[in-house]
Amino acid sequence: MSDKDYFLSNEQLLHVFDLTQTATAIHVGETAIIQTANDAMLKIWGKDRNVIGKSLEDALPELKGQPFIGMFARVWNEGLTLSGKNTAAHLEVDGKIQTYYFDFEYRAIKGEDGKTTCILHTAIDVSERFLKREALERAQEKEEALEREQALNEELAATNEELSATNEELQKTQENLHILNLELEARVADRIKAFTESEKRFRTMAEGTDILIAVGDETGNAIYFNKPWVELTGRSMDELLEFGWVDLIHPDDRNRYINIYLSALAEKKPFTGEFRLLSKKGDYHWLLAKGPPRFNHDGSFAGYISSCIDITERKVAEIERQNLNKLIEASSEFIGLAELNSSFQYLNPAALTKLGWKTYSGRTILDCVYPQDRKFAEKILPTFLVDNFKHEIRFWNEKTGQPFWIEWNGFPIRDAETNKVIATATVSPDITERKLYQEELQDVNMEMAAANEELATTNEELAQTHDDLVQYTSKLADSEEKLRQAIETGKMGTWSIDPKSMEVTMSNFVKELLGLPLNKPVEMDLIMQAVNPNYHELLFSASSNAIKNQLSSDMEYPINNLITGEEKWVRATGKVFSDLNGNPTEYSGIFMDITEQKLDELRKNDFIGMVSHELKTPLTAINGFVQVLQRKAFKDKDDYAVLALDKTHSQIRKMTTMINGFLNVSRLESGKLLIDKNPFRLDELIKEIIDETFISQSSHKLILKPACEVTLIADKDKIGNVISNLLSNGIKYSDNGTNIEVSCQLFDAYVEVRIKDEGMGIKPEDIEKLFERYYRVQGNHTISGFGIGLYLSAEIIERHNGKIWVESELGKGSTFCFTLPLS
């Protein structure tokens, strides 16, 4: 069933409108032109449907001189609502002007621009109620007069005849009142019966339709759900009434739809929204919900009657169409759609680029064809409109004038109902390279024909070579099988990503490790669900960098099996492969289960962190005692003790730095090294670090070139540690009296800091491993350190999306550089 099948026709809507017992009409314009009126309103007016389209004054001339025409004009012009109760109106019914009493409302209905679009006119005939009340008031007055008259019997004896006449009149009035009461009671009973039957008809209609219908009261609480709601959700009426349908809404749609509903409820306006609802089968259905507000006879808000239709097929088709459009837009093939007169309706970006066109507007199929091939194209083009065809032909680029070969694949597009051809389409790959290869192959064939005699003499040698090739192929197959077995035995699998479509393929080992279906295509969303969320940004950054710059990648991160929930550590290594033009064609690599190694490493880091932390406590106490002894030795002027304690304090500071380094490594590798980004001035930070270093080091000269006056959003303490570590390295590996130069340069998207020393320099073979954990330059073990400072610095800069490197020449010093993004 299509979406349109759920909507009532205009005739059905008018029929429903006519059945409403409340007299209702819709007017437009300042003169209150009657747009439509139901039977109840026409009955009040005493008119037939010939009044539709007339102004209120033309349809009911007797209203001239009464206030209603002016009230309509005011409602239209000022966009307000006017109402009244027990209001008298003089109407011509059956040729007579009679007075009736109404409860009425003129409500301005506004459009999105805030202007009045129509006036909703509702009226309730309360003549009987009004006359009854008036009669009661008259009867009460007469009863009071009778009591006064009875108290003054002597004075009123002379008026007995008048009193008798009055009594007779009162009796008649009472009889009339009794009759009126009986009629009113009968009418109330009829209206209650009609309301009950109307509600019964609504329930019967609601239970018999496929549309999901719900009713809510003025507070927003549901008071009714029809049978399709129960069948779709599998929940009972009581469960649904207790707001038991909200948790079935898809988490991505829940807040949005509830806000739509609550906003409409607050303003008592209609609402429309789409959302996904979980069925009792466990799948989601797309629903389109609409809810017009309900109002009581007195105009008070009564709630909503909402209806939901299943639009799952339409939404799935929309999503598929969007995905198809994306594929077409991203495709490198020549894709086009043309009308029967050969003019283009669509060309994808790749086609426009190949043709050198900015737009396909006003272009035809023949415009694509290379001028020398157009006669051939004109000859075969009629077959385009009959059946599928395939031809090899040259198209051309108008900008360069160069032709290119395509495999022209065409097929007609037919109308689904008439089967007539309404358009033609083409999906044609570029075969220029193949055609050029064929031409080269023809030249080679000619050369080979000339060399046939020479080849004939080498048949025996070729036969022997063939035997050798067979043996080599067999060995190669065995090697591939052994490689596959080795990969599986070593808890490894393979993966591959297409850089253009980002389509992912994986071996079964990887799928089983992640908990993915073995017999279905791999989806990137499912892969990322298995990866620990804390590593998503790192994974995307490394993959994008590898594809963009055609680099290798090597990442370690934790995963949770989507089926079992078991946590494991994996290592994914990858490499980007390119074609002859340098364009990336594949990004693939090995996926390894390193859980055991990683757990051992984490236990080792925990141990190092624990030991380092325990060492800090006695070391802090020792440092305190040394400072006390330093003050005492200085006070006693014991030069030897002062010198010895200064050296002791220096060693304690070095040991504290090394312990802090081990703690940071432990935190880094256990994922507990947090980056707290806040704004700070880079030039001020560099000056602070240099001032601190200058106080503790007097053997070198620190030179600060004009620094960058720029504000960064980064972890100030961590960046300060990097600068301090690089300065300490420069001092450590440079001779006393040499210069340490710090400079900073600002670029468009990043800032670069350089720390240059005049030390011993670094060998080329050491530079590549310098930032690895625990690596120390060979031959420099006389200098203290564990090789963790540069490793930590590199990790900190990388987590800020920056770069760090070293430029060095052996014997002439080194320059350590790092960059940080400006945003």
Tell me the mean pLDDT in the region 175-181: 71
194 in a structural domain? no
Q: How many Cα atoms sit within 13 Å of 190 on the Cβ side?
A: 7
Task: For residue range 185-243, list pLDDT tens digits in order.
Answer: 666 555 555 555 556 676 777 777 888 888 888 888 888 888 888 888 888 888 888 76
Q: Do 288 and 342 fall into the same domain?
A: no
- Taking residue 433's Cβ as centre, other Cβ atoms within 10 Å add up to 11
Q: What is the CATH number of the domain that holds 360?
A: 3.30.450.20
Q: Is 69 helix (H, G, I), strand (E, B) or coil?
A: helix
How far is the C-alpha of 582 from the C-alpha of 822, rounded, in Å? 31
pLDDT at 521 over 90: no
pLDDT at 665 over 70: no
358 in a structural domain? yes
The helix, strand and coil proportions of the chain, stated in percent and rounded to the nearest 5, come to 50, 25, 25
655 in a structural domain? no
User: Taking the model in full, what pTM does it have?
Assistant: 0.30
More confident position, 162 or 455: 162
Residue 131: pLDDT band with limits 50, 70, 90: confident
More confident position, 104 or 159: 104
Radius of gyration from C-alpha coordinates of the chain: 45
493 in a structural domain? yes
Q: Do 24 and 114 fall into the same domain?
A: yes
Inter-axis angle of helices 716-732 and 789-799, to 10 degrees? 150
Cα–Cα nearest to 722, from 689, 766, 770, 768: 689
Task: For residue range 709-736, list pLDDT tens digits in order.
Answer: 899 999 998 898 899 889 888 888 888 8
Predicted local distance difference test score (pLDDT) of residue 538: 83
- DSSP bridge partners of 574: 553, 589
Q: Do 492 and 574 fall into the same domain?
A: yes
% of the chain residues with pLDDT over 70: 76
Q: Do 817 and 691 fall into the same domain?
A: yes
End-to-end C-alpha distance for the chain, whole angstroms:
53
Q: Give the number of domains in the chain.
A: 6
Tell me the mean pLDDT in the region 653-659: 67
Q: Which of 578, 593, 608 is the last residue of a domain?
A: 593
Predicted local distance difference test score (pLDDT) of residue 465: 43
How far is the C-alpha of 167 from the C-alpha of 173, rounded, in Å? 10
Q: Do 120 and 144 fall into the same domain?
A: no
Instruction: Among 409-423, 492-506, 691-705, 796-810, name the one with the lowest average pLDDT.
Output: 691-705
Residue 181: pLDDT band with limits 50, 70, 90: low
Q: Which of 570, 593, 616 is the last residue of a domain?
A: 593
642 in a structural domain? no
Q: Do 100 and 146 fall into the same domain?
A: no
Angle among Cα 516, 517, 518 to the nearest 5 degrees reads 110
Q: Is 492 helix (H, G, I), strand (E, B) or coil?
A: strand
pLDDT at 135 over 50: yes
Q: Do 104 and 11 fall into the same domain?
A: yes
Residue 818: pLDDT band with limits 50, 70, 90: very high
CB 246 within 8 A of CB 256: no
More confident position, 607 or 533: 533
Q: Do 698 and 819 fall into the same domain?
A: yes
Predicted local distance difference test score (pLDDT) of residue 479: 44
Residue 483: pLDDT band with limits 50, 70, 90: very low
DSSP string, 332-363: -SEEEEE-TTSBEEEE-HHHHHHHT-S--TT-
Helices (H) and strands (E) in the chain, counts: 25, 28
Q: Do 554 and 505 fall into the same domain?
A: yes
Tell me the mean pLDDT in the region 672-686: 83
Q: Do 767 and 728 fall into the same domain?
A: yes
353 in a structural domain? yes
Residue 448: pLDDT band with limits 50, 70, 90: low
Task: For residue range 379-404, list pLDDT tens digits in order.
Answer: 887 776 667 778 888 999 989 999 99
Predicted local distance difference test score (pLDDT) of residue 148: 74
CB within 8 Å of 681: residues ≥ 6 apart: 709, 710, 711
Q: What is the chain's mean pLDDT, rounded? A: 79
Q: Do 159 and 116 fall into the same domain?
A: no
Q: Which of 258, 289, 316 is the last residue of a domain?
A: 316
Task: For residue range 758-788, list pLDDT tens digits in order.
Answer: 988 888 888 877 887 656 665 544 344 445 7
Task: For residue range 100-127, list pLDDT tens digits in order.
Answer: 888 899 999 988 888 899 999 899 888 8
Strands 301-310 and 293-295: antiparallel
Predicted local distance difference test score (pLDDT) of residue 680: 93
State the residue range of the domain holding 522.
482-593
Classify the phi-psi angles of 593: left when phi > 0, otherwise alpha if psi is within -120 to 50, otherwise beta: beta
Q: Do 154 and 71 fall into the same domain?
A: no
Q: How many Cα atoms sit within 13 Å of 473 on the Cβ side?
A: 6
How far is the C-alpha of 149 from the C-alpha of 151, rounded, in Å? 5
600 in a structural domain? no
Strands 739-746 and 701-704: parallel
Predicted local distance difference test score (pLDDT) of residue 258: 87
679 in a structural domain? yes
Predicted local distance difference test score (pLDDT) of residue 781: 41
Predicted local distance difference test score (pLDDT) of residue 712: 92
